[in-house]
Amino acid sequence: MARRHDLLATSLPLAYAGCGEPAFAGDPLRGEARADVVVIGAGITGASAAFHLAEAGARVRLLEAERVGAGGSGRAFGQVVPYLRTEPARTVSDLGTEAGERLIATAAGTPALVAELVSRHAIACDLDASGLIFAAHSAGGSVVLRERRDVWAARGVALPLLDMEQTLAAIGGGSYRAALVEPRGLSLNPLAYARGLARAASAAGATLHERSRVVDMSSSHGGWRVETTEGRIACDTLVVAAGVAIGGILPELRRRILPFRVHEAATAPLSADALAGILPRQRALTDTRRLPSGVRRTGDGRLVVTLSGPAGGGRAGDLGGGLARLRALFPRLDVTAFAESWSGWVDLAPDQYPRLVEPRPGLFVGYGLSGRGLGLGTALGQALARRALGSRADETSFPGMAGRPPRWLPGSSLAVAAAAASIRRIDAWQARQADAPRLPTSNGPRP
């Protein structure tokens, strides 16, 4: 069982922390306060909500248990993907044509939304707009990419499908048979982006309190009363953007997400010579395995690699497997150790759709970003702000509450580990098929 304090991890990757965006310095909430809207959680979703609320003129307080970006936002791999985890036809079938198309369009618009905010607020997050590469890890992966190209071509978006030689040139190594380039995708330093959004929210008039864990909330006189470790605040409207820790604040939503742990590692900054030819256009690489499989270059010359590792609590990620992956991709690269590694929790929704719900009047909650939160969390924060400012439920592009929650135990590490292990076995088996490239089997996803 992933315990609550495990889900609120504290140390942040040094690879991301030493960026141009300094750590935010928000004093804890002490004593009594009053606001129009209180936002709980200063990750990308909460910071985006606070910014959009403050920009619209609301008196906003943003409460963060630890530091800005302490959750998934400060630990992510760093790619902004313009689509959901499910393919468009499936989304439309699951959510209905109108709601499905609205959510697909919102996801497609997230790179532009992120780029606009980064540019408008001069957020120093090493944003790279040269696109993303999704490589085929198996014959089935090639089919997935071809279908994706065709789906988006029918929607007027051209995604170049590279053959083996072009893929080799685009990645600078490896033996993938094919790859799809997603020109709309971005990569960025996620912690710097979260900090920059918080700075923008503060500049727009929001008050941010770090080290202010919400321990209780109750409705009071038509509004809300929120209690933190050291203070209390009354407000008309409450927005909850607590990521994977949502069940700690709202137990009734605990079973709506499955905490899924993802592991990353980063090399020390490498010289230009060492990096020559590696991901030459700086595009972040993932492949078609179902579990996360990223490799990308950072602005200061590190390689960030997604590691295989337990999807529940417990052991660290597989550093040896990560190094083997780098060696297989780039045999010339002389890296014998990572400078650091870290992990974080993803709020995986059973159906992988993000949700915006109002479980009680005046309480708006976003969850279920399912590993797509850098872009979708930004959009969800904006949508939460609009709802808190009075827009109607049918005006948001995020679906509301799904049907009954699944029966599995909340946060059961056994259930998570078993599911992830069997997916990893399928990925590895596919990669071993006769017509698949030989790759280390320990990393890897459906991007």
Ligand X SMILES: Cc1cc2nc3c(=O)[nH]c(=O)nc-3n(C[C@H](O)[C@H](O)[C@H](O)COP(=O)(O)OP(=O)(O)OC[C@H]3O[C@@H](n4cnc5c(N)ncnc54)[C@H](O)[C@@H]3O)c2cc1C
CB closer to ligand X, 62 vs 439: 62
Q: Is 344 in the site for ligand X (CB under 6 A)?
A: yes
Nearer to ligand X, 49 or 436 (CB): 49
Query: What are the structure tokens assigned to 298, written together?
Result: 């950072």
Q: Which residue is nearest to ligand X (CB)?
A: 373
Please report whether residue 309 would count as binding ligand X according to CB under 6 A.
Answer: no
Query: With contact defined as beta carbons under 8 Å apart, do 47 and 67 qualify?
Result: no
**Interacting residue with ligand X among 2, 29, 37, 40 (CB under 6 A):** 40
**190-203 vs 110-120: helix axis angle to the nearest 10?**
60
| Residues of span 359-378 touching ligand X by CB under 6 A | 369, 371-375, 377
- Minimum CB separation of residue 4 from ligand X in Å reads 8
**CB 395, min distance to ligand X, A:** 21
Which residue number, 52 or 213, has a Cβ lying nearer to ligand X? Answer: 213
**By CB under 6 A, is residue 264 in contact with ligand X?**
yes
> Which one of the spans 14-22, 72-80, 115-123, 425-433 is the region binding ligand X (CB under 6 A)?
72-80
Contact 157, 180 (CB under 8 A): no
Binding status of residue 266 toward ligand X by CB under 6 A: no
Work out which of 13, 100, 173, 248 binds ligand X, going by CB under 6 A: 248
Is residue 241 within the footprint of ligand X (CB under 6 A)?
yes
Residue-wise DSSP of 26-75: PPPP-EEEEEEEEEE--SHHHHHHHHHHHHTT--EEEE-SSSTTTTGGGT
70 touches ligand X (CB under 6 A): yes
Show the binding pattern over residues 193-232: x = contacts ligand X (CB under 6 A), - = does not. --------------------xx------------------
Q: Does 184 bind ligand X (CB under 6 A)?
A: no
Give how far Cα 191 sits from Cα of 13, 146, 279, 394, 442, Å.
9, 33, 22, 32, 26
Residue 356, interface with ligand X (CB under 6 A)?
A: no
What whole-number distance in Å separates Cα of residue 114 and Cα of residue 103? 16
Report helix, strand and coil shares of the chain as percent, to nearest 5: 35, 20, 45
Closer of 206 and 436 to ligand X (Cβ): 206
Among residues 176, 152, 183, 196, the alpha carbon closest in space to that of 81 is found at 183
For residue 148 the two structure tokens come to 């994706």
Residue of the chain from 26, 46, 247, 312 that contacts ligand X (CB under 6 A): 46
| Binding range to ligand X, per CB under 6 A, among 12-20, 41-49, 390-398, 434-442 | 41-49
Compute the least distance from the CB of residue 275 to ligand X, in Å: 20
Is residue 65 involved in binding ligand X (CB under 6 A)?
Answer: yes
Which one of 26, 71, 310, 313 is in contact with ligand X (CB under 6 A)? 71
Angle between helices 373-388 and 110-120 (to 10 degrees): 80
Question: Encoding tokens for residue 9?
Answer: 């991890």
CA distance 169 to 164: 9
Residue 410 CB, nearest distance to ligand X (Å)? Answer: 15
Are 175 and 54 in contact by the 8 Å Cβ rule? The answer is: no
* CB nearer ligand X, residue 99 or residue 198: 198
Q: By C-beta, is 124 or 379 nearer to ligand X?
A: 379
Q: Which residues in 166-200 are b (16+ Cβ under 10 Å) and which e?
A: ebeebbbbbebbbbbbbebbbbbbbbbbbbbbbbb
Joined tokens for residue 249: 């604040």
Tell me the chain's radius of gyration from C-alpha atoms: 21
d(CA 67, CA 208): 10
- Find out whether 118 and 196 touch, Cβ atoms under 8 Å: yes
Q: Decide: is 135 part of the binding site for ligand X (CB under 6 A).
A: no
Least Cβ distance, residue 194 to ligand X (angstroms): 7
Q: By CB under 6 A, which span of 31-39, 141-149, 297-305, 342-350 interacts with ligand X?
A: 342-350
Give contact residues for ligand X (rule: CB under 6 A). Answer: 8, 40-46, 63-66, 70-73, 75-79, 213-214, 241-245, 248-249, 262, 264, 344-346, 369, 371-375, 377
